Amino acid sequence: MDAHFDRDLLRDGDRRNVVDRYRYWRHDAIVADLDARRHPFHVAIENWQHDFNIGSVVRTANAFLAREVHIVGNRRWNRRGAMVTDRYQHVRHHATVEGFALWAAGQGLPVIGIDNLPGSVPLETYALPRECVLVFGQESVGLSDAVRGAADATLAIAQYGSTRSINAGAAAAIAMHEWVRQHGDVAAGHPEVASSDARDLRPPAQGRGF
């Protein structure tokens, strides 16, 4: 039997929310395989009021294979939205913004805040560093002044409607996908079409449209 497989899952069935590649694999084998392929960006979110979006951010970080998720503030967070993906995603806690900023500086990681604030740079035109930490604030108040002060840049997501902001979970998904768009292996993210012509995975050429 392949060493990746879990005997109990093979006997009883695997009802976990995992892709087919990992069906019947042991939990530690899945994490080890993910660790070998993780992207070099991190995600951080402030947690001062038990923000319900944090679980969604963790789930999305797992989908985009972030290196780690950092919870800044309260250690306890609402795991319901994570849909058990926190079992496969490394999550680190920092009690204070200052502690988080010191950790990032020690790792040589630029801190990139995401918030629609005066003076923010459009995310759509910004060259994201390959190695960085994308930071998101609380749902209602956005990035704290402490994070804004520690950030190397603050980026805004383009919006066109009447609402003042989108929720933190949605903002995190957009920002992580922008990192993937700039730095990720697109073909590796679409295994179901990996055998198709690679040109299908590239954006269309910019022409005159005759």
Question: Phi and psi dihedrals of 48, rounded to 5?
Answer: -105, -20
Put simply, whether the predicted model's pTM sits higher than 0.85 gets the answer yes
Residue 143 near residue 88, CB atoms below 8 Å = no
Q: What is the pLDDT along the chain (210 residues), one digit of tens a residue?
A: 689 999 999 999 999 999 999 999 999 999 999 999 999 999 999 998 877 889 999 999 999 999 999 999 999 998 888 999 999 999 999 999 999 999 999 999 999 999 999 999 999 999 999 999 999 998 778 899 999 999 999 999 999 999 888 989 999 999 999 999 999 999 999 987 655 555 555 555 544 443
The distance of Cα 75 from the centroid of its chain, to the nearest Å, equals: 19
Residue type (1 letter), 168: A
- Sequence letter at residue 146: A
